[in-house]
Structure 1
Amino acid sequence: MRAIDRILSTDPEKVCVKIENGLSITYQQIKEITKANQSILKAIKRKKSGQPAIVVDISIGWKLIPVFLACFLEKLTLVPVDRLRSPNLTHFIHQQFPDVHFGPDDFNSEGEMKDEKNLQYLTHYKELKEVAFVLYTSGTTSNPKGVMLTYDNILINAEQIKDRLKLKESDCLLVARPLSYASSITGEIFAGLLAGSSFLFKAPSSSPLRIINHVKQHNVSILFLTPSLTLKLLELRSFLELTRLKAIVLSGEILYTGQFQIIRAGLPKTVAIYNGYGLTEASPRVAIHKIDTESFVEGCVGVPLNGIKIKILDEVGRKLPDQSKGVLHIKGPNIMKGYLKQKKLTREVKKNGWLNTNDLAEIRNKQLIIHGRADNTIIRHGMNIQLEEIESLLNASPFVNESVVIKRESENKKVTLEAWIVPSSTYQMSLLQKEIHSWDQKLWPDKIVLKQEMPKTQTGKLRRTGN
């Protein structure tokens, strides 16, 4: 593969990985480890015709880079698992791929695979042809879905991201999100490798709040975070001293006006802010754009990346004109092959190459505006209401630091809205209620619950489930 050859041809003396103890791994060392791993993977392919799959525990951190590259060169499918943070999902994946699992003990200190493992009964699915990764999304009411992303999906989307962010060899990217996420694999690791950049991997066991220390100590220039986690970091320590920071890329949640204003004020003026949108089924990135105070529009993620088409459809599948809110559909070289062993579900969400994102959006002056999930829509007073619309109003209040609105349904099917809020230092319930009652009545939450902090994923993304 030309793209992989290009990565392995990066200046051999260039640092690829910075390690917290002060050591570093050069691109030449990555190349040597990749070749060693490739010899192990060749043996795997000899044991089975077609394209087999291996499962790798992401706790090995930076050692995943030469595993990724070797799998691409040998045309094997890789299934990453997060045993530490997602034990139930890991168990499910092991049932789907019961044979070849590489964990921390299967790599030596240099990052090389130790041996061929037991390859007699290697898992193989015909669907895996040209599939680079199977990434599982955690299921809540059903079994997890295995998203099949091809080599082209990953490499083309990574190139698109690299170009949009203008990544360079001189950049150092902090990889803080789990390495089983498409956002980390494509948007950070492969995009950075194609640019010849350096990486610092945050240890899974370390607190996300150590991120600022990592940035200072290792001259990190690019950060990839959610808006919520960025706000949390700003509460604890100022970013203004981070003079080496070049850009922060926000994604995973809608960026509200109040959040952007706080983040912009808390960052040095020299730091660019990007807002992005994507989903695993799109490898993941669909759009990213640079934002500033003058041009900021809530939910706007800019024009789609090169080669990606978008359209907005109504509930019966009719195309809507610009500035009309509907369900976003996307088409391009980044769209998944499908869901592993779920052909019916694949046909439901992917038709004629168009992926139904189930996200509400609109197109305004060629810019994509994201409004939230279609399944976060309820009908009140005969009108469609998005939960994110209420959250936007709450987050703009001086009495609220953070909010999430939960939809509750009783046994008699009555739907009520519960607003969880983290109050600000100026919070007074009576004043907040007075402000809420100034809104359109259909937007009033039925109940307000005070929280010390919001339930979040390891990456700082808000959870809409729990108590």
Structure 2
Amino acid sequence: MNISVQLHNIAGRLGGKPAYYFMDQASTYAELDAAVTRFASGLEQLGIKKGDHIAVLLGNSPHFIISLYGALRLGATVIPINPVYTEDEISFILLNGDVKAVVCLDLMMPLAEKMQKHLPEVQQFIICESGQGGGSNAGGMTDKMKAFADVVSIGSPNYEGPDLGEDDTAIILYTSGTTGKPKGAMLTHRNLFSNAQDVADYLKINEDDRVVTALPMFHVFCLTVVLNAPLMNGGTLLIVPRFSPKEIFRLAKKYEPTVFAGVPTMYNFLYQYPEGDAEDMKSLRLCISGGASLPVALLENFEKKFNVAVSEGYGLSEASPVTCFNPLDRPRKAGSIGRSIVNVENKVVSELGEEVTPGEVGELIVRGPNVMKGYYKMPEETAAAIREGWLYTGDLARMDEEGYFYIVDRKKELILVGGYNVYPREVEEVLYSHPDVVEVAVLGVPDPNFGEAVRSFVVSKNPALTEEDLISYCREHLAKYKVPNSIEFLAELPKNTTGKILRRALRKQVLQQS
């Protein structure tokens, strides 16, 4: 079984039900499945075959879903790429990923033309209409370019595709590459199907759910939790091309969604939105947070304002991604990523790989059918990440007596002040609890006396708030060595397209100032 076959099965049972709404237009499961089938067949007629690699450079749209499920039905391997990446970043992934075909918007045609010269291995560019100029009828289409609509139109409605093995590579997700070049995590059909099904079961996602799809589809959090899990169970997606609080509240009023998933910055924007009203969110039965740790103060403020529970979970690309979620059948624990989902094991280990006692901090490791087969063309990195069947996440965590896990921080983000461990998240939690603080990021900077010092970057809604005000506030709640020795106020914090705060950009800023 794989997610594309499951989509076909759902279409056979719920063909007339809306699979998604996009730009206020509905498309049924039967229509979606027919487009997926034709696109898979059309790809084959262009010379794409089972095992070939196809890059998808698209934002949130029906084009993305049809490309993903169509390529998987053909047996091709999909490589989702953030379309706002630079030319160098995209070129690296296309070359390293041995990509044979690219699906992209017409707005990227100039880039596609340049890539034809530098990347001869890419045999086909499939161009999607953006509605913003360009497109399949515009000039500039070369022999290597085909319009998305034309690929669908030439496909057979009766195409069935080849037999696929559960260990065949379905997707290669290139990690963000905070150190060195990004690595391609190879996820199999079994990885994707098992995690989507387990997440859907754990969160009780069903055909009555309407799920706000505002996270980027090319990101694994959205891919599994907000796209695959609902479609596998007959839910309806409310596709948001680009996140904005105004659009979320508009959708909430019109379509009465039952599930919202986002990263902490999205929750912060929704909470701070002046026109946001609890009445607009009354249809939500569940909010899901992931991608980064959700500050406890923000979680509690959001829940109080909108009267909806936020269930925090945890995952990473190499695990398809979900390993933990707060259970829905009991009160969630603030600050916790929850317990292991069904079929997945998590444990906390020491530097020697030995399980530590509850409450003790160590590295979180994961085992289950969701764990990747390895990094593409990187056997040494694969061997370092997966040992005796366990995936080493690089995250520091602790587990309580009831089996709830808490992320302490990234192993590489640990700050050593005079030999004492300082976890950035602990300092961030304190700063977030200040009523005038909107966003925070904490990192370690070189210090001649203590090795490292704590520096904080803060976005405040009160222009009168001073550095000394916040340092004094931290002294009331933190041990002396954990208190920031400097606080810099910014208009906004740098973020990636998923809304995750970019610590490396702040670190680069610090280096430039020194």
Length-normalised TM-score, structure 1: 0.88
C-alpha distance in structure 1 between counterparts of 2:279 and 2:152, whole Å: 46
The one of 364, 369, 375 equivalent to 1:333 is 369
Aligned to 1:61: 61
Deviations 1:376-428 (A, max 9, x none): 11222432221111111211223433211122237999423211112243735
Q: Percent identity?
A: 25
Segment of structure 1 superposing worse, 444-453 or 212-221:
212-221
Q: What is the deviation of 1:374? A: 1.0
- Tell me if 1:449 matches 2:488: yes
Segment of structure 1 superposing worse, 33-42 or 359-368:
33-42
> Compared with structure 1, are the counterparts of its residues 356 and 146 closer, same or farther at alpha carbon in structure 2 (3 Å cutoff)?
same
Q: What is the deviation of 1:38? A: 2.1
C-alpha distance in structure 1 between counterparts of 2:276 and 2:60, whole Å: 31
C-alpha distance in structure 2 between counterparts of 1:10 and 1:407, whole Å: 55
C-alpha distance in structure 2 between counterparts of 1:433 and 1:64, whole Å: 47
Q: What is the deviation of 1:312? A: 1.1
SS in 2 for 1:103: strand
Q: What is the deviation of 1:281? A: 0.6
The one of 430, 433, 446 equivalent to 1:393 is 430
Structure 1 residue identity aligned to 2:482 = L
C-alpha distance in structure 2 between counterparts of 1:214 and 1:40, whole Å: 34
SS in 2 for 1:427: coil
Q: How many residues align?
A: 450
CA contact (8 A) 1:17 1:200 kept: yes
> Compared with structure 1, are the counterparts of its residues 88 and 174 closer, same or farther at alpha carbon in structure 2 (3 Å cutoff)?
farther
Aligned to 2:22: 19
> Compared with structure 1, are the counterparts of its residues 350 and 113 closer, same or farther at alpha carbon in structure 2 (3 Å cutoff)?
farther
- Tell me if 1:311 matches 2:347: yes
Deviations 1:329-375 (A, max 9, x none): 10000001111111100100101110000111112111122112111
Alignment of 1:162-311 (within 5 A): 162-204=200-242, 207=244, 209-236=246-273, 237-242=275-280, 243-267=282-306, 269=307, 271-290=308-327, 295=331, 297-311=333-347
CA contact (8 A) 1:76 1:132 kept: yes
C-alpha distance in structure 2 between counterparts of 1:351 and 1:8, whole Å: 40
C-alpha distance in structure 2 between counterparts of 1:434 and 1:63, whole Å: 52
Q: What is the deviation of 1:51? A: 1.6
C-alpha distance in structure 2 between counterparts of 1:310 and 1:319, whole Å: 10
Segment of structure 1 superposing worse, 243-252 or 319-328:
243-252
Structure 2 residue identity aligned to 1:402 = E
Segment of structure 1 superposing worse, 86-95 or 176-185:
86-95
Q: What is the deviation of 1:34? A: 1.5
C-alpha distance in structure 2 between counterparts of 1:147 and 1:15, whole Å: 32
Q: What is the deviation of 1:101? A: 1.4
RMSD over aligned CA atoms reads 2.8
Q: Which runs of 5+ in 2 are unaligned?
A: 107-125, 130-146, 155-165, 510-514
C-alpha distance in structure 2 between counterparts of 1:339 and 1:208, whole Å: 36
Q: Which runs of 5+ in 1 are unaligned?
A: 118-127
Aligned to 1:100: 101
Aligned to 1:120: none
CA contact (8 A) 1:51 1:129 kept: no
Length-normalised TM-score, structure 2: 0.81
SS in 2 for 1:212: helix
Which consecutive segments of 4 or more residues in structure 1 shift more than 6 A? 108-111, 410-413
SS in 1 for 2:326: strand
Aligned to 1:349: 385
SS in 1 for 2:59: helix
Structure 1 residue identity aligned to 2:55 = V
C-alpha distance in structure 2 between counterparts of 1:188 and 1:112, whole Å: 25
